[in-house]
Amino acid sequence: MKEFELAIIHSGFAAGPVFDADLTRVKTDPSADQNESYNPEHEMTLYNRAVDSLDRELASAAEKADRNSRDIYETERLLLKDNAFSETVRELITEKNMNVNTAVEHAGNVLAQKLAGNENAYIRQRSSDITGVTERLLEILRGEGTNTLKVPSIIVSEELNPARLSAIAPSLILGLVTEKGSMTSHVSILAGNMGIPYLYGSREALEAVRASEKAIIDDKKLITDPDEKTYGEALRRMWEENERKQSQKRRQKEDSAGIDEKIHTKVYANIAGTQDIPKLIASGVRGVGLFRSEFLFLDHNGAPSEEEQFEAYKAVAEAMNGKETVIRTMDLGSDKKTNWLPMPAEKNPALGCRGLRLSLKEQDLFRTQLRALLRAAVFGNIKIMLPMVTSVREVEIVRSILENCAEELSNEGIAYKIPSLGIMIETPAAAMIADELAKAADFFSIGTNDLTQYTLALDREAQGLEAFYDPYHEAIFRLIKITADAGHKNNIPISVCGELAGQPNAVKRLIECGVDKLSVSLSKVDETRLQVVKAEAELENRRVEKDAEQSPSIAAPADGRLIPMEDIPDPVFSAGTLGECVGIMPDSGIIYAPCDGIVSGVAQTGHAITFTASDGREILVHVGINTVTLAGRGFKVLVQEGSTVSKGEIVMEVDLAVITEAGLSPMVITALLS
C-alpha cells in the first residue's frame, strides 16, 4: 500500500478497480518477435485478415454516412490498401522477422512521418489518417474494441482528451488520475459535469496506480494497492458518500422547486449530447443555454452524418418541449481534436484553427451541421450559437451560408426553420465590439472559460499555472459589463455559459453586471437557482437601503408620543390600506410640514393635508380619528394646495379640546402614500 498527494482538479472520494486507459492505445511487444514459433506466413495471414476486416468496417460506415463523411471513409480505405503501407508491413514481417503488431505500428509510423514532411498540405494532412488507420488495425489485431472497460473503475492515463473520455460510459467512471492535466481543460469540464473526482500531476503516482489492481481517491490523496481492510472501509465510505450526495441533491431539488417563478435571472443548463436528456428533463430547467455539439463529432470514427445530427438536435429540442434550446455549432480544434479530421500541426492551437474559424474552413462539414440544425428547428425552440467569434463579418458570412442551406433544403422539399443566430463572447475582441456585434447577432452568451484564457493570455490547459488563471480578474468582469450594456442597449439578452456562471461567489457579481441568464452544468442547476435567489434578495435589499439613504427623511408632524402602525385605532391605517403609517398622540395642536415639498391637497374639512415631497413621495398628515365629522371645527389650515413648504414649517393649528370634547381621538397619523 502506498500513498501519494496529488493536485486536485475535482475533489471527491472513490474506490475501485484501476483501468489503464492507455492500454487501449497502440502498444506492441517487440520481445514476441523472432521466437522459435515465429511464422511469417501466419503473421501475413493475420495482417490480411485485419485489413479485410477494417475495409469492411469502413465500407459499411461509408454506406451509412453522408457525402462528407463518405469521402473520409473512402480515403481511409484507399490508405489501407495503399501499396507503400502493405509493402512496408510485408518487408518488416518477411525480412525483419517482426510480428504483425510491431510491423503495422512501425509501418504506420514510417509512413505518417514521411507524409507529415511533404510540401503539399493535402498530403501532409493524410498523415493523421494513417495514424488512425494504424491504431484501428492494431485494435483489430488485438481483438479489442475502442473501449474494453466493463466495470466501474478509476481511470488512469498519462493524459486524457475529450474524445477519449467521451468514449467511456460515465456510469463506468469512478474517478480519474492522470499525469498531465489542467483545471480548465474540456476534460476537466466534462468530469465536473459528471461529478467525478479527478487528480493529476505525478509520474510516480501514475506508474504506481497503473501497477495496482485497486486504488482509492480521497480528496488529494491517492492510495495504491490498498490492503483489504482499507479497501473494504473505502468501499463502504463511497457508498455512504453517494447516499449523502443523493440526499443533498434531493434537498437542493426540494428547496429549489418553484424558485424559477420567483427569480428574474434565468438558470439554464449546459449539455454535451443526447445522453444528458434524462437528467435534463428531471432538472425541470427553463432552457438549454449551451449544447456543446462538438462532442457528437469527437465520439466518432468520422463526422456524424446530417441524419445523425438531425436526430440528436431534434431529440433534445423535443425533450425541452418548446423551451429555449441553444445549440452551439461545432467548437472543434485546440484540445478538441479528432483523428478523422486532419488538422495542420499548430504551435499555438488555442490561437489557431478552432471554433468558427475551423467551421468556415471546413465548410462542407459546417453546412452539414447547419442543414441538420435547420431541419431540427422545426421540432422545437432551437437557437444556433457560434463559438469563437471575433468580427461582425464572420456572423454575416454564417447568415449567408445559413440562408443558402435553407434554400437548398427548400429546393429539396425538406421542412426547415431558420432559427435565431447568437454568438459566444469568448474573446476580448468580441467584448470590445459588442455594440456592433449586438446588431448582427440575436443574442450573446459569454464563454468565460475562453474569455479568461484570451484576456489573461494564459492557455486554459497550461500545466502548473492555475494560480494565474483567475476568472475573477477585474478585467473579466469589466468585459462582461461592457458586453451586457451593449446587449441591453440593442435589446438582446445576455447569458453566461462558462464555468463562472456556476460559481457561488460569482453569481451576484454577474447579475450586477446585467447578465440575464446563467447556463451551468446540469449538476449545478439546483445549487445555482438557490444562489440566484440569495443574490437577488441581497441586491434588492441593497437597492432599498440605497433608496432610503437617498430619500430625505420624513419628520414628525407633531410633538408627542409615537404610536406604532398596528395600534392606530382605525383599520384603514392600521391595516396598511393607505401605505405605511405611524401615529403620534400630540402634546399640542401645532402641526408641521413633514418634508420639503409642495402641498398637493387640503381636505375641505381641514383635518388632513397631503404633501408631495421633493423626492416625489406622497405623504398624508391626518389629524384625529373620524375628525371628518367635525366638518372643519377646530382646524385652522395655514397653507393651501400648491403652497411650497419646508420641513418643520407650521402648516396647521388645531384646537385639541374641540376634538376630545367630541369624544374623538386627536391622534395625528402620517401615511406614506407612495
* Interface contacts to ligand PEP, rule CB under 6 A: 189, 290, 292, 331, 426, 447-450, 497-498
484: cell is: 451586457
Q: Which of 400, 449, 440 is nearest to 190 (CA)?
A: 449
Binder of residue 532, out of ligand PEP, Mg ion, none (CB less than 5 to 8 A by kind): none
Taking CB under 5 A as the criterion, the residue among 129, 450, 499, 516 binding Mg ion is: 450
Least separation in angstroms between CB 170 and ligand PEP: 18
Q: Within 412-441, which residues bind Mg ion (CB under 5 A)?
A: 426
321: cell is: 418541449
Binder of residue 206, out of Mg ion, ligand PEP, none (CB less than 5 to 8 A by kind): none
244: cell is: 449523502
Binder of residue 287, out of Mg ion, ligand PEP, none (CB less than 5 to 8 A by kind): none
User: How far, in Å, CA of 19 to CA of 212, rounded?
Assistant: 10
Contact between 461 and Mg ion by CB under 5 A: the answer reads: no
Identified catalytic residue from 106, 300, 497, 595 = 497
Binder of residue 192, out of ligand PEP, Mg ion, none (CB less than 5 to 8 A by kind): none
Identified catalytic residue from 106, 186, 300, 607 = 186
Pair 180, 199: CB distance under 8 Å: no
User: How far, in Å, CA of 458 to CA of 456, rounded?
Assistant: 5
Q: What are phi and psi of 514, to 5 degrees?
A: 105, 15
Least separation in angstroms between CB 179 and ligand PEP: 23
Least separation in angstroms between CB 236 and ligand PEP: 36
Q: What are phi and psi of 64, to 5 degrees?
A: -85, -15
33: cell is: 518477435
Binder of residue 498, out of ligand PEP, Mg ion, none (CB less than 5 to 8 A by kind): ligand PEP
Interface pattern 8-27 for Mg ion (x via CB under 5 A): --------------------
Least separation in angstroms between CB 175 and Mg ion: 26
Taking the least distance from each CB to ligand PEP, the nearer of 58 and 515 is: 515
Residue, CB closest to Mg ion: 450
Taking the least distance from each CB to ligand PEP, the nearer of 129 and 450 is: 450
Relative orientation angle of helices 67-80 and 363-376, to the nearest 10 degrees: 140
Least separation in angstroms between CB 379 and ligand PEP: 25
User: How far, in Å, CA of 124 to CA of 548, rounded?
Assistant: 70
Taking the least distance from each CB to ligand PEP, the nearer of 68 and 453 is: 453
Least separation in angstroms between CB 456 and Mg ion: 14
Q: Beta-carbon neighbour count of residue 563 at 10 Å? A: 19
For Mg ion, which stretch binds (CB under 5 A), given 53-61, 112-120, 297-305, 442-450? 442-450
Q: What is the CA radius of gyration of the chain?
A: 35
Number of residues that bind Mg ion (CB under 5 A): 3
141 CA to centre of own chain: 41
Residue 186 annotated to the active site: yes
Binder of residue 497, out of Mg ion, ligand PEP, none (CB less than 5 to 8 A by kind): ligand PEP
Q: Which of 423, 421, 427 is nearest to 400 (CA)?
A: 421
User: How far, in Å, CA of 226 to CA of 222, rounded?
Assistant: 10
Q: Which of 650, 590, 589, 599 is nearest to 620 (CA)?
A: 599
Q: Beta-carbon neighbour count of residue 228 at 10 Å? A: 8
Taking CB under 5 A as the criterion, the residue among 132, 447, 557, 606 binding Mg ion is: 447
User: How far, in Å, CA of 533 to CA of 256, rounded?
Assistant: 9
Least separation in angstroms between CB 185 and Mg ion: 11
Taking the least distance from each CB to Mg ion, the nearer of 349 and 380 is: 349
Measure the N-to-C terminal CA separation of the chain; round to a whole number of Å.
73
Helix (H, G, I), strand (E, B) or coil at 403: helix
Taking the least distance from each CB to Mg ion, the nearer of 231 and 477 is: 477
Q: Which residues bind Mg ion (CB under 5 A)?
A: 426, 447, 450
**Residues with a known catalytic role:** 186, 497
